[in-house]
């Protein structure tokens, strides 16, 4: 299992289970990433490297793109620890 895609998929699933609407951008943060790695029982030293690795450089996993999300971007008004799954 590849850690980064599995973690992002789990973050996305958790957000949907928590009531996120797939018609909008979905915000997540460091705590969401840590929850996902705990759920999956995997070790990622710096969880904030995960969204950074995908931000405009890697394609999101199919389980996320099937909902028309195309990228991860940092929240502009935040301290750098909050990101959004964004649509086209």
What does the domain layout of the chain look like in residue ranges?
3-87
**Residue 80 — pLDDT band, cuts 50, 70, 90?**
low
pLDDT in tens, 58-78: 899 999 999 999 999 988 766
Strands, sheet with 26-29, edge to edge from the N-terminal-most edge strand: 26-29, 82-87, 69-74
Question: Does residue 1 have a pLDDT over 90?
Answer: no
Is pTM beyond 0.85? Reply is: yes
Q: How far apart are CA 14 and CA 33, in angstroms?
A: 10
Report the pLDDT value the prediction gives residue 61, as an integer from 0 to 100: 95
pLDDT digits (tens, 9 = 90+) for 3-18: 999 999 999 999 999 9
* Residue 28 dihedral angles phi and psi, to the nearest 5°: -145, 165
């Amino acid at each position: 299992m590849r850690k980064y895609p599995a973690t992002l998929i789990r973050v996305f699933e958790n957000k949907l289970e928590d009531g996120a609407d797939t018609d909008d951008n979905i915000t997540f943060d460091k705590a969401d990433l840590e929850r996902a790695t705990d759920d999956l029982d995997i070790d990622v030293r710096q969880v904030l490297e995960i969204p950074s690795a995908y931000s405009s450089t890697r394609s999101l996993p199919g389980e996320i793109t099937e909902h028309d999300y195309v990228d991860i971007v940092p929240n502009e008004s935040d301290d750098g620890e909050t990101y959004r799954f964004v649509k086209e």
